[in-house]
C-alpha cells in the first residue's frame, strides 16, 4: 500500500495510542482532520504536521513553495492564521550544497510572504534517505475562534475552490509533460496543468472565508481527493450530503491529464481544493469574495440530515452513494513517474497492460493453480484493432505453479508472447470481438467441468502422426474457427507427441477470462 494508512488500521493501531490525556486538547488525532487544536487561555492554538517530498524533477524553488504552503494550509483551514514553523530536512549523502542552500532560501522566502516565522528545525545527511525530504514540517498559529471539519450544519451550502484533482494534475503534468504532448494533448492545456503546482495551497481562500464569515467547516481535499474530503467533513460532522456532480469544476487541462493517465478526477489527491460549508445566506458573498481574489469557486451541493445519506446527484436523476475511495490511485502513477517517462507505450497500451495486470492478480488471488499447465500459462490481451504481435500484451515470464500457488514472472508487456499472440490474431480473423486468451491444462476433470458449466467447446483436429508445427497449428486453428457459428468459450488442443494436452479459453476482455477460469477452477475442485 502507498499513501496514508487506511481508516480501520488507524482506529485500531494508532488512535488508541496518543500518550497522556490533557484537557487543553480541543481537537486531537482524527482521520481526515487537518490540524490539532489546543485551548491555551482565551485562545486556540492550531498545530499541523506533514512530510513533504519532491517529484523527480521538482526544482528547489518549487519544493520550497510546496513545503511552506502545504504546511500552512493545514492550519489555515482551521480558521487560524499560520504564524510559526519548524522543519526537518533529511538529505542523501553528497547532496550538493548549492541545492541545499537554494531550498532553504526558498522555504524562507515563501514563509516570509505568508507572515510565517521559522523558529527551528533540523538538517542532516542520512544513508537511508534517497531523495531530499522534509521529514516533517510543523506549522502553528493561534486565534480567538476556530473552524474544524466537524462543524458542518444541516442546511449549509457546500462550496469548493479551483476544482477537483488540482495536485494530481499538476504533478503529473510536471513529471510527464512530454508524454502528455506526445499523446496529443494541446500544449496550452499541458502548460496550464503545470502552473497548477503553485495552486496547491488553500491559505488564501481559507483566510477569505473567515473574513466573509458564516463558514462552519473547512477541509483541504488531499489524499482521496474531493470524494474523500467531502466524506470526511460529513463523517466528522455527523451529517449527510447532496452533491451535484455536474457542478464540480473539472477544468479542461485537469480533465485531459486525468483521462490520459486513467485517473478519476473526483478521487485523486487535490491539495489546493478547499472544501467548506457555510450558512446558505453567505454563499453568494463567499463566491463574490473568491472571484474578486481571482479564485474560481462553486456551490456544489448542500448539507442534509445524516439520515438522508451522502450521495452524488447525477444529471439524469440517478443518485450514487458518496464514499471515500479505498485507495488514492495517484500514488501508483506518481511513484512510477520516472519509469513512465521512459515508457514508449501509447496511453492505450499502458491502459491495456494495466487491465491485464489486474486480471493476473485476480487469478493469483483466486489460486487457479490446479489449471496451470506444467509448461505454464499465458494470458494475452490485444488492442481493439490489433493486427500484429506488438499490438498484444502478455506476461513475459508466464503464470506458473509454485508450491500449490499461482506465481507470475514479470509485469504485462506488449509483444512478448508469440504463441498466445498469434492464437488471438487467428481467432480474430473470424471473431473480431475476441480480444483475450489463456492456455490451461486439459484432463478429464477439466473437460467435465467445461460441460457442467455449459461452456461452448470446440476441438481442433488431431494432426497426422500427432506431430504439428507452428504453421500447422495455425492452419488447423483457422479450419476450426471457420466451422464455428459463434465464438466458443473453449478450444481443445489435440494430443501431440511430447506436448502437454491443453485448452484455450477465449473472452472479450480479461474480466470475462477471469470469470470463466475461476468458475472452471471451482468446478474442477468440486469434482475432486
Parallel/antiparallel/unpaired status of strands 392-394 and 240-244: unpaired
Burial of 303 (0-12, 13-18, 19+ CB in 10 A): buried
Number of helices followed by number of strands (H, E) in the chain: 16, 22
What is the spatial distance between Cα 433 and Cα 287, in angstroms, rounded to a whole number?
50
**Residues 19-65 pLDDT 10s:** 898 888 888 887 767 789 999 999 999 999 999 988 888 999 999 99
What is the spatial distance between Cα 108 and Cα 85, in angstroms, rounded to a whole number?
10
Q: Residue 25: what pLDDT?
A: 87
Cβ neighbours for 495, distance < 8 A, ≥ 6 positions apart: 462, 466, 501
Q: Residue 1: what pLDDT?
A: 56
Question: Smallest Cα–Cα separation from 437: which of 364, 374, 488, 385?
Answer: 488
3-state class percentages of the chain: helix first, strand second, coil last, to nearest 5: 40, 25, 35
Place of cell 501509447: 346
- DSSP conformation class of 131: S
Asked if residues 406 and 364 have their Cβ atoms less than 8 Å apart, the reply is yes
CATH of 1-145, one of 3.30.1330.10, 3.90.580.10, 3.30.70.1230, 3.20.20.70: 3.30.1330.10
263-292 burial, b at 16+ Cβ within 10 Å, e below that, comes to: bbbbbbbbbbbbbbbbbeebbeebbebbee
Q: Answer yes or no: pTM beyond 0.75.
A: no
CATH of 347-527, one of 3.40.225.10, 2.160.10.10, 3.10.450.50, 3.40.50.300: 3.40.225.10
Cβ neighbours for 438, distance < 8 A, ≥ 6 positions apart: 377, 378, 379, 380, 420, 504, 505, 513, 517
Place of cell 526537518: 88
Burial of 368 (0-12, 13-18, 19+ CB in 10 A): buried
What is the spatial distance between Cα 208 and Cα 290, in angstroms, rounded to a whole number?
7
Give me the residue spans of the domains in the chain. Answer: 1-145, 147-342, 347-527
What is the spatial distance between Cα 209 and Cα 355, in angstroms, rounded to a whole number?
43
User: What CATH number should be reported for the domain whose range is 147-342?
Assistant: 3.90.650.10
C-alpha distance across the termini of the chain, in Å: 37
Parallel/antiparallel/unpaired status of strands 457-459 and 490-492: parallel
Q: Residue 3: what pLDDT?
A: 67
- DSSP conformation class of 499: B
**Residues 366-381 pLDDT 10s:** 989 999 998 899 999 9
Q: Residue 26: what pLDDT?
A: 87
Helix axis angle, 418-430 relative to 470-482, nearest 10°? Answer: 30
**Residues 477-525 pLDDT 10s:** 999 999 999 999 999 998 887 778 999 999 999 999 999 999 999 999 9
What is the spatial distance between Cα 299 and Cα 170, in angstroms, rounded to a whole number?
23
What is the spatial distance between Cα 118 and Cα 106, in angstroms, rounded to a whole number?
12
Report CA 187 to chain centroid distance, whole Å.
25
Q: Residue 2: what pLDDT?
A: 64
Q: Residue 338: what pLDDT?
A: 56
Q: Residue 282: what pLDDT?
A: 97
Given a cut of 50, the residues of the chain with pLDDT beneath it are: none
Q: Per the structure block, which three cell numbers stand in for 455?
A: 461452456
Do 1-145 and 147-342 show the same overall fold?
no
Amino acid at each position: 500500500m502507498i499513501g496514508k494508512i487506511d481508516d480501520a488500521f488507524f482506529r485500531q493501531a494508532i488512535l488508541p495510542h496518543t500518550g497522556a490525556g490533557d484537557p487543553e486538547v480541543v481537537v486531537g488525532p482524527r482521520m481526515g482532520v487537518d490540524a490539532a487544536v489546543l485551548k491555551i487561555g482565551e485562545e486556540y492554538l492550531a498545530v499541523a504536521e506533514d512530510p513533504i517530498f519532491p517529484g523527480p524533477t521538482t526544482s528547489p524553488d518549487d519544493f520550497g513553495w510546496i513545503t511552506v504552503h502545504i504546511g500552512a494550509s493545514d492550519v489555515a483551514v482551521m480558521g487560524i492564521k499560520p504564524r510559526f514553523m519548524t522543519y526537518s530536512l533529511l538529505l542523501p549523502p553528497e547532496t550538493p550544497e548549492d541545492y541545499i542552500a537554494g531550498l532553504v532560501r526558498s522555504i524562507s522566502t515563501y514563509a516570509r510572504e505568508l507572515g510565517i516565522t521559522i523558529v527551528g528545525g533540523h538538517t542532516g545527511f542520512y544513508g537511508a534517505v534517497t531523495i531530499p525530504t522534509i521529514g516533517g514540517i510543523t506549522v502553528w498559529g493561534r486565534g480567538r475562534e476556530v473552524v474544524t471539519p466537524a462543524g458542518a450544519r444541516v442546511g449549509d451550502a457546500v462550496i469548493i475552490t479551483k476544482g477537483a484533482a488540482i495536485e494530481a494534475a499538476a504533478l503529473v503534468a510536471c513529471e510527464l509533460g512530454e508524454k502528455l504532448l506526445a499523446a496529443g494533448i494541446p500544449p496550452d492545456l499541458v502548460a496550464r496543468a503545470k502552473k497548477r503546482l503553485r495552486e496547491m495551497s488553500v491559505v488564501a481562500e481559507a483566510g477569505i472565508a473567515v473574513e466573509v464569515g458564516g463558514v462552519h467547516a473547512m477541509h483541504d481535499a488531499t489524499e482521496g481527493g474531493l470524494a474523500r474530503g467531502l466524506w470526511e467533513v460529513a463523517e466528522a460532522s455527523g451529517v449527510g450530503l447532496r452533491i451535484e456532480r455536474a457542478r464540480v469544476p473539472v477544468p479542461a487541462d485537469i480533465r485531459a491529464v486525468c483521462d490520459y493517465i486513467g485517473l478519476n478526477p473526483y478521487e485523486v489527491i487535490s491539495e489546493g481544493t478547499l472544501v467548506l460549508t457555510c450558512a446558505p445566506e453567505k454563499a453568494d458573498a463567499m463566491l463574490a469574495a473568491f472571484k474578486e481574489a481571482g479564485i474560481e469557486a462553486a456551490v456544489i451541493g448542500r448539507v442534509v440530515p445524516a439520515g438522508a445519506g451522502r450521495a452524488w446527484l447525477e444529471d439524469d436523476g440517478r443518485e450514487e452513494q458518496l464514499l471515500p475511495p479505498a485507495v488514492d490511485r495517484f500514488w501508483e502513477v506518481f511513484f512510477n513517474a520516472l519509469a513512465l517517462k521512459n515508457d514508449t507505450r501509447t496511453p492505450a497500451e499502458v491502459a491495456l497492460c494495466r487491465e491485464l495486470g489486474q486480471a493476473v492478480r485476480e487469478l493469483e488471488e483466486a489460486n487457479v493453480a490446479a489449471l496451470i499447465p506444467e509448461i505454464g500459462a499465458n494470458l494475452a490481451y490485444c488492442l481493439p484493432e490489433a493486427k500484429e504481435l506488438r499490438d498484444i500484451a502478455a506476461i513475459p515470464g508466464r503464470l506458473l505453479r509454485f508450491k500449490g500457488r499461482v506465481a507470475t514472472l514479470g509485469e504485462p508487456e506488449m509483444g512478448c508472447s508469440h504463441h498466445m499472440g498469434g492464437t488471438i490474431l487467428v481467432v480474430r480473423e473470424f471473431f473480431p470481438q475476441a480480444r483475450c486468451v489463456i492456455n490451461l491444462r486439459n484432463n478429464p476433470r477439466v473437460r467435465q467441468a467445461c460441460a457442467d458449466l455449459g461452456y461452448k467447446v470446440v476441438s481442433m483436429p488431431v494432426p497426422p502422426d500427432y506431430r504439428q508445427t507452428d504453421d500447422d497449428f495455425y492452419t488447423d486453428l483457422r479450419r476450426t474457427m471457420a466451422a464455428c457459428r459463434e465464438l466458443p468459450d473453449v478450444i481443445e488442443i489435440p494430443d501431440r507427441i511430447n506436448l502437454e494436452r491443453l485448452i484455450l479459453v477465449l473472452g472479450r476482455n480479461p474480466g470475462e477470462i477471469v470469470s470463466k477460469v475461476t468458475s472452471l477452477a471451482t468446478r474442477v475442485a468440486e469434482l475432486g
